[in-house]
Every structure is written in C-alpha cells, then in structure tokens.
Amino acid sequence: MLQVDARGLSCPLPLLKAKQALNGLGSGEQVEVLATDPGSQRDFRTFAELSGHSLLKDAEENGCFVYVLQKA
C-alpha cells in the first residue's frame, strides 16, 4: 500500500496529494494518507462520494487523521 504523508499541510493539499497518488495506481489498489488538518475529514468523505473511490478508513489516531482510499 502506498503511503502519503500530508501532515502539516492545510486543505486542500492533503486531498490533492491523495489524488496524485491515486492517479498512479491501478484499480483496486490502495493509498493511505496521513494528515493533521481537521478539515481534511470533510474533504476526504466528499471526495470518496463524488469520485467513486472507496474510503476504507477514516480515523483519528493521536492527533493524526488516517485515511485509506481504494481506487475504483
């Protein structure tokens, strides 16, 4: 699984980095994104709904938001 470290970046940069990573993946592959911006929760949920990609994980762990997206 590809990991993207977007900690310390403000929205929309964590989501943009996730999109770039997804572009390089094949269908069914996953990317894990680490972010610290609380606004990223809304962004990732909305992006998953609109894009058709699956948001497999949406959690907060020790002040870090962890997302796992699976490419459609």
Q: Could you give the residue numbers annotated as active site?
A: 11
Among 50, 47, 46, 53, smallest CA distance to 25 is for 53
Q: Which residues pair with 67 in a beta bridge?
A: 33, 58
Helices (H), 1-72: 13-23, 40-51
